[in-house]
Structure 1
Amino acid sequence: MKNWLLTGLLFMIVSTAFSQGKVTGTITDGTNSLPGANVVIKGSTTATSTDFDGKFTLDSQNSSGELVITYLGYNTQTVKFSVSNGATTNLGMILLESDSNQLEEIVVMGKGIIDLAKDRKTPIAVSTIKAAEIQAKIGTADITQTMVNTPSVYVAGQASGYGDSRISVRGFAQDNTAFLLNGQPINGMEDGKMYWSNWSGMSDIANAVQIQRGLGSSKLAISSVGGTVNFVTKATDKEEGGFVSTGVANDNYFKTTAAYSTGMSKSGWGTSIMLSHWQGDGYNDGTEGAGETYFISVGYKANDRHSFNFLLTGAPQEHDQNYGKKLSVYETYGRKYNNNGGVLNGEYKSAVGNYYHKPVANLNWDFDINSKSSLSTVLYASWGRGGSLGTVGSTKRTTDGYVDYDAIIAANEASASGSATFALRNSVNNHQWYGLVSNFKTNFGEYVNFNVGLDLRTYKGLHFRQINNLLGADYFLDNGNVNIPNNKIYNTYTNDRYAILTKFADVPNRYAWDYDETISYGGFFSQIEYAKDNFSSFFQGSLSSQTHNRTDRWAYLPADQDAEQVNNVGYNVKGGVSYKVEQIGSFYANAGYYSRQPYHDNIYLNFGNDVNPLTKNEKILGLELGYTYSSKLITGSINAYRTSWKDRVTTTSTEASDGVLSYKTNEGVEQLHSGIELDFVAKPTNSLSVTGFASFGDYQYVGNSVITVRDEDRNIISQDIVDVDGGKVGDAAQTSWGLGAKYEFLPRFSIDADWRNYSKLYSNVGAVKNNLELPNYDLVDAGISYKLLTGTKGLNSIAFRVNVNNVFDEIYLSELTTNVAATPTSVLVKGIDANNSGYYGYGRTWNFSVRFNF
């Protein structure tokens, strides 16, 4: 009897201790099942991952609890459950919502440096494009193409060749839009411009692109007049895995990519590597290109407080280029006509192109000081090598306009002196750039957070010309170098994208110009934000000082080679408030003022050592109002803005025959940009998602353009006042809107399409009263995606993607650089005088890719 009692008691204890139930369910985003999602019982170590079909099963020793579900790129979901002894509870479909513009899981390094919209509770006008969309839709285009479905963003320049595109934001060109790589500035320090050929691998290494229109959230003293574009690159992956992919496209385009990550080891180390190669003939004639991308990231998590990540990336490339032509020329030879090359030794040889290799390295340190404070620092460097290929001398052409190399070589060989009558040259633009950005963040109580930091940079640019090909001549004669009169140059130099890192002309073999520019920059920035309940407000301020030096070895004797050093100071202030109304959305208002130093190229006159005495800081005032709304069905925003840009000064100097020096100054005109933007994302059903955007802008010049000529003592000699009030700013469509949709017919099989309309696009000719308006046009892009899950748990996959851009082969003018008005006798092309010059946009193009993830 005692044995029975003891046995029964033991059974009851064991049964109670190990009583359990099972919890099952399926994780989905409403369109696709999500294999590999992490499912954890909150407060325990019991966890699992979803299988091939997004399903999971967990054993629970408790009768109730909460599941915490996480998946990269989606908001964390918490789900309550309860089970009975020995029973199974099926939670059914559990929907994870995309984290939209939130990048918590994507930013894994430099969290205090990368100024993303998520880091500030006071809203801004923002759009975020993640890696999955970039990889799906980029095809053969520059990274700028991923931004075309964004309000107030216009992409131009693609027709020139691979890497030659440019974007404007709210009608402001690239030198008035700030571009950041993981929070570090990458606009050219000499002129503020962006050259996308230097960043041809960005689509391979970007985890996300965030476009902050207007004032943005960056704390740095940067020129975010139109907006701020932040590229967030991959870092060292936490999990082991990788992928291989290949793609083909129109005009013999081919690309292969491979990547592998070791994952983070128990000792805290991890490495990720990616390599790719691309090549293609280009859409237009004579725009062939080729290049590679390399990416190496090494991470080390020393402990819970210190994390380090070293990154090295580069995108060596070479590509031939197309120039804009008169519409009458296109009518004669076709829209793809490009006469920048000819036949040399039986093969096509372009006389115009670009080549560049810019390795970029940075070291990030994230230091969690305590629960309230953190310090993030990035030390970075880049070493740009390359330039452009062009011509020097008198070009000989065939009857159909191409470069006649045979005739040129014959003329060079027949030269009595042996000097080249025509040659190919490289305009070299090398640089070294080093910088440091550091940000300290702390919380003052529950409602206030405070940031303070430093932005330090030093840049040295080296500019000269060198001979690339003598084309049968013995030498090239440079008779302009004051230090080497009648310099005979016999040596030639390659534009091979790897050799250029170390092989370029020494001083005696440089011609036309040879100068250095050194720019040192120091900036201090700070931000304070108050957020409590439904109200938030912020204030940002920054102060910066720039020092400019110039040394010219070609146009000046040694005693005069060093120009006068120039120092200037700039600042900006920004502030804003927001109020969240439950169930309705958030309202916000922001304002900012910039006093921006002139760019280096405007400080020294005529690319010489004379200092422009008339430059002054440019003034920018930005105002914006907005409203954001988010629900399970639809997320959207509407924004209104007004940005004024004034006090621009450009100056040239002229020395008359009697030695009298005069300064001709264009004191410019105020540029006023205002508009309204709308964008939304909706999901009417689990299988259908719809997106849309619209922007209605008014970009115009205000007042008069004043051209003043002064003598050396600044006395006014003459002054011409030109009325440009109301003139339209060119090179950006002032009105655009679009709709997009994605529908999943079967699990992991979907089709998507985007339609866009552009209007009120004007010629890119500067400040004029009556600008020329280009015809409106529409574009439709479409794609099909299928993902095949493989592996024992479906954690591997093979993804297939087909894109067709400009599906209906719309013929349109994407940009003009002249504004010749039509007359009754004009020959018209699409309603425009045929003497106007510019580019047609691309016709129908396609690309196909396959990617295996493991």
Structure 2
Amino acid sequence: MKTLFKTIFAVSVLQTSLAVAQERVPKDSVPTKSLEEVIVKATRADEKTPVTFTNFSKKDFSKQNLGQDIPVLMNYLPSVVTTTDAGNGIGYTGLRVRGSDATRVNVTINGIPYNDSESHGTYWVNMPDFASSTESIQLQRGVGTSTNGAGAFGASLNLLTDRTSEKASGEISNSMGSFNTFKHTVKFSSGLLNKGFELSGRLSKIKSDGYIDRAFTRLSSYFLQGTYIGKTTRLKALVFGGKENTYQAWNGIDGATLNSNPQFNWSGYYVDENGKERFYDNETDNYQQDHAQLHWNEKFSDVLYLNLALHYTKGKGYYENYKEDAVFEDYGMTAPQGLSTTDLIRQKWLNNDFYGTTFSLNYKNDKTDAVFGGALNKYDGTHFGKVIWARNASTSELGDQYYNDYGIKTDANAFLKVTHTLWDKLNLYGDIQLRNVEYKANGVQANLINDSFNFFNPKAGLTYSIKSNSNIYFSYAKAHREPNRTDYENGNPRPEKLDDFELGWRLSSERVKLNINSYYMLYKDQLVLTGELDDVGSPIRKNSGKSYRLGLEADAKIMLSKKFLLAPNVSISENRNKDFYNDASGTPVSLGNTKIAYSPQFIVGNIFTYMPIKNVSVSLLSKFVGKQYLNNLDDKKAYLPDYFINDFHFNWDFPVKKALKEISLSVVCNNILDRKYVSNGYDYYGTNYYYPQAGANFLAGISLKF
């Protein structure tokens, strides 16, 4: 462990470089690589890398970016299923890839880990409108390449923030739509100044009432980025963050309520002293998260680059609940004589710090592209609860905490990956990663946690070019992953292991881009979702012994003519537990081979775009998601029915002379056929709960670019 830390600090580096305006900065002062290229070099794949990936650029998602979160914007990518608690894509949203939930999708922002260290989850609600400051996204399905943060067990999602702008610019964007949804965004860039400086930023505000009753969101965010470009040195400093206030819609509804009142929300429900049904008006989630990143890139020569990043994230917030007939003892209060329970209002708080460094050293010549990199990161968080009101008095004082827990996690990794060209048509790829995790925590339910893991994750593969525009690839990757906090609080979990085999073919011509791949993901001790929730609403997972995912994916972009573009994708998979045991009754019962929960066998998408004239596009987007089980028991009563939805997009960009350069009009109509469908749910002790999604709804926006 000490040796690994010394190695990391000795090399300490990360990626940075920038394409700049040649006429404004002396030509000999501009490194040959751009900051954006180098900053993602350590974590991204390219056409020579034998992994399965999809690139998603600002051009792809900017026209539909009218307030919905990044997972919803990614809904039509291969093997992706999105979920949203409020039903309209704003607030708490998530995505699954190949049936793997968000805790298994490794997310990095400019190479910096974003997943929560303890839960492994990704909370997009803490970064509202982040798509407006995102230049590109790469989704690697499967294990992918070595990256920073927790291991990828379903996919890796790499986000790159806005690139440096050569010219000064400004943008004002406003949108509105169904459920009283509004989004307001202001962006600016100073352009690259004579001495190599650029400053850019964004402010955003989003509000929506949500499709589900009372599931409102009130979101605000900021983004500020400064860049300096010297002769061989480049610096990029960023601060960004968001603040969210959302009414909870976490509970879902049962089947009977789904049929009678699909917009009903149980959150905040209680019966007052007079027997009247009421809803607590502040059953809300409140959180603020702020990020700071500093990226430094040094060019030693035309083939050698050194990169370093430092980062710090501060998160603090709480959610508030009205609790009926709460037991005094559970909240650290002494009960008055003759009473044992009381109605009360509680707050559950998080206060955490996450900081560290990531680095990479990149050597590249005509035949060899090698990256040595890694990271050293630490998470230090507290969990505590407060009672802010109780109907019946007790001995407690204002500000008392009825629990005060902690979690401390240190995560260090170092990796070396090399792509070498044997001859013009064959590229060999090798990637090894060493990762050490140390986790200490306590909890209300769990005993003291003091665990340490050492993981060795090798990867290898080859890419063979059939022609200049076509190649085939094969790769093998091994990955390990530690349990999260909830896993410890609901059992004695073991770390997961995964062997991932990928075989694919890529074709890229002037009119057709085609990707076809197959995969076999063999798990041991996979922590699968049982479909149940614990008493604080967190999904419960249990080790399932051996399990596998076997699938075929295909996606394409086909220019039928100058005016018609077709972009279909299809995913067919089999997802099974081997010799699965159910121990819900306390005695393990063998159920044999069962289907893995939340893993549809078929996912089919298509985007059909018509461009009647220049700068005008009309698109019909279609998505089919097959049946999903809510547990791993092959319970024919616990499932999400398949669904088929269609969206409509309209975009018109028209240039304007003088100060105002362009006006962009966008309209997004979701679920235009007004289908009733459910994208998520859970099984709670034999009762199914669902998260219904909105029927036909729309968003419309206008952007003024200066």
Is this a same-fold pair by TM over 0.5?
Answer: yes
1:321 correspondence with 2:248: yes
Among 480, 500, 504, the alignment partner of 1:626 is 504
1:724 correspondence with 2:655: no
1:110 correspondence with 2:39: yes
Per-residue displacement from partner, 1:215-255 (whole Å, max 9, x unpaired)? 22334474211111111112443321110011101011111
> Structure 1 residues 436 and 246, CA, compared in 2 at 3 Å: closer, same or farther?
same
Cα deviation for residue 839 of structure 1 reads: 2.1
Q: Give the 3-state SS of the residue equivalent to 2:463 in structure 1.
A: strand
Partner of 1:354: 285
The residue identity in structure 2 corresponding to 1:762 is Y
Cα deviation for residue 464 of structure 1 reads: 0.8
Q: Give the 3-state SS of the residue equivalent to 1:310 in structure 2.
A: strand
Cα deviation for residue 282 of structure 1 reads: 1.0
Cα deviation for residue 667 of structure 1 reads: 4.9
Partner of 1:232: 160
Cα deviation for residue 690 of structure 1 reads: 1.2
1:582 correspondence with 2:467: yes
Contact persistence 1:200–1:315 (CA under 8 A) = yes
Kindly report which structure 2 residues correspond to 1:304-315, keeping only aligned pairs within 5 A, or say none: 304-315=231-242
Partner of 2:563: 687
Among 214, 232, 235, the alignment partner of 1:286 is 214
Contact persistence 1:163–1:197 (CA under 8 A) = yes
Per-residue displacement from partner, 1:585-626 (whole Å, max 9, x unpaired)? 2110011112333335545x56xxxxx8x6543211100100
Contact persistence 2:506–2:516 (CA under 8 A) = yes
Partner of 1:437: 358
Among 141, 144, 155, the alignment partner of 2:82 is 155
**C-alpha separation between the residues in 2 aligned to 1:307 and 1:288?**
42
Q: TM-score, normalised by structure 2?
A: 0.85
Partner of 2:438: 547
Cα deviation for residue 808 of structure 1 reads: 0.4
Per-residue displacement from partner, 1:268-306 (whole Å, max 9, x unpaired)? 1111011011112111111111111100001111x2210
Contact persistence 2:243–2:288 (CA under 8 A) = yes
Using the TM superposition, name which of 590-599 and 272-281 deviates more.
Answer: 590-599
Among 396, 399, 403, the alignment partner of 1:488 is 396
Cα deviation for residue 419 of structure 1 reads: 11
Among 320, 323, 326, the alignment partner of 1:389 is 320
Cα deviation for residue 394 of structure 1 reads: 2.6
| Structure with the larger RCO, 1 or 2 (CA within 8 Å, 6+ apart) | 2
**C-alpha separation between the residues in 2 aligned to 1:418 and 1:724?**
46
Partner of 2:694: 842
Cα deviation for residue 771 of structure 1 reads: 6.8
Among 323, 342, 345, the alignment partner of 1:424 is 345
Among 438, 450, 453, the alignment partner of 2:373 is 453
Among 700, 723, 738, the alignment partner of 2:605 is 738
Contact persistence 2:544–2:577 (CA under 8 A) = no
Cα deviation for residue 259 of structure 1 reads: 0.9
1:776 correspondence with 2:632: no
Kindly report which structure 2 residues correspond to 1:212-231, keeping only aligned pairs within 5 A, or say none: 212-220=140-148, 222-231=150-159
1:594 correspondence with 2:460: no
**C-alpha separation between the residues in 2 aligned to 1:363 and 1:128?**
25
Partner of 2:404: 514
Cα deviation for residue 647 of structure 1 reads: 2.2
> Structure 1 residues 123 and 592, CA, compared in 2 at 3 Å: closer, same or farther?
closer
Q: Give the 3-state SS of the residue equivalent to 1:358 in structure 2.
A: strand
Contact persistence 1:180–1:231 (CA under 8 A) = yes
Cα deviation for residue 701 of structure 1 reads: 1.0
Partner of 1:533: 424
> Structure 1 residues 450 and 679, CA, compared in 2 at 3 Å: closer, same or farther?
same
**C-alpha separation between the residues in 2 aligned to 1:285 and 1:592?**
45
Cα deviation for residue 341 of structure 1 reads: 3.8
> Structure 1 residues 648 and 624, CA, compared in 2 at 3 Å: closer, same or farther?
closer
**C-alpha separation between the residues in 2 aligned to 1:666 and 1:341?**
30
The residue identity in structure 2 corresponding to 1:752 is S
Cα deviation for residue 577 of structure 1 reads: 0.4
**C-alpha separation between the residues in 2 aligned to 1:309 and 1:218?**
23
Contact persistence 2:575–2:599 (CA under 8 A) = no
Cα deviation for residue 167 of structure 1 reads: 1.3
Cα deviation for residue 353 of structure 1 reads: 2.6
Cα deviation for residue 348 of structure 1 reads: 7.4
Contact persistence 2:179–2:210 (CA under 8 A) = yes
**C-alpha separation between the residues in 1 aligned to 2:606 and 2:50?**
24
The residue identity in structure 2 corresponding to 1:489 is E
> Structure 1 residues 814 and 649, CA, compared in 2 at 3 Å: closer, same or farther?
closer
Cα deviation for residue 433 of structure 1 reads: 0.2
Q: Give the 3-state SS of the residue equivalent to 2:246 in structure 1.
A: strand
Q: TM-score, normalised by structure 1?
A: 0.71
**C-alpha separation between the residues in 2 aligned to 1:222 and 1:341?**
35
Q: Give the 3-state SS of the residue equivalent to 2:121 in structure 1.
A: coil
- Unaligned 5+ segments in structure 1 are 1-37, 46-103, 396-414, 478-486, 492-508, 607-611, 651-664, 710-718, 822-834
Aligned length: 649
Per-residue displacement from partner, 1:716-759 (whole Å, max 9, x unpaired)? xxx94422333112224321112211112222222111111121
Kindly report which structure 2 residues correspond to 1:452-471, keeping only aligned pairs within 5 A, or say none: 452-468=372-388, 470=389
> Structure 1 residues 489 and 594, CA, compared in 2 at 3 Å: closer, same or farther?
same
Q: Give the 3-state SS of the residue equivalent to 1:843 in structure 2.
A: coil
The residue identity in structure 1 corresponding to 2:420 is Y
Partner of 1:365: 296
Contact persistence 2:106–2:149 (CA under 8 A) = no
Contact persistence 1:704–1:721 (CA under 8 A) = no
**C-alpha separation between the residues in 1 aligned to 2:493 and 2:176?**
50
> Structure 1 residues 125 and 566, CA, compared in 2 at 3 Å: closer, same or farther?
closer
> Structure 1 residues 331 and 446, CA, compared in 2 at 3 Å: closer, same or farther?
closer
- Quick one: percent identity of the two aligned structures? 20
- Unaligned 5+ segments in structure 2 are 1-19, 24-32, 273-277, 327-335, 529-540
> Structure 1 residues 365 and 581, CA, compared in 2 at 3 Å: closer, same or farther?
same
1:569 correspondence with 2:454: yes
Q: Give the 3-state SS of the residue equivalent to 2:211 in structure 1.
A: coil
Contact persistence 1:236–1:309 (CA under 8 A) = no
Contact persistence 2:87–2:692 (CA under 8 A) = no
Among 788, 813, 817, the alignment partner of 2:682 is 817
> Structure 1 residues 211 and 299, CA, compared in 2 at 3 Å: closer, same or farther?
same
The residue identity in structure 1 corresponding to 2:604 is W
Partner of 1:524: 414
**C-alpha separation between the residues in 2 aligned to 1:578 and 1:584?**
13
Partner of 1:410: none
Kindly report which structure 2 residues correspond to 1:111-260, keeping only aligned pairs within 5 A, or say none: 111-113=40-42, 115-118=43-46, 121-159=48-86, 162-220=90-148, 222-260=150-188
Q: Give the 3-state SS of the residue equivalent to 1:242 in structure 2.
A: strand
> Structure 1 residues 782 and 214, CA, compared in 2 at 3 Å: closer, same or farther?
same
1:699 correspondence with 2:565: no
Cα deviation for residue 326 of structure 1 reads: 1.2
> Structure 1 residues 724 and 147, CA, compared in 2 at 3 Å: closer, same or farther?
farther
> How well do the aligned residues superpose, as a CA RMSD in angstroms?
3.2
> Structure 1 residues 741 and 233, CA, compared in 2 at 3 Å: closer, same or farther?
same
Contact persistence 1:299–1:310 (CA under 8 A) = yes
Q: Give the 3-state SS of the residue equivalent to 1:488 in structure 2.
A: coil
Cα deviation for residue 192 of structure 1 reads: 1.3
**C-alpha separation between the residues in 1 aligned to 2:685 and 2:350?**
34
Partner of 1:756: 623
Per-residue displacement from partner, 1:790-819 (whole Å, max 9, x unpaired)? 124x98101000110000001123233239
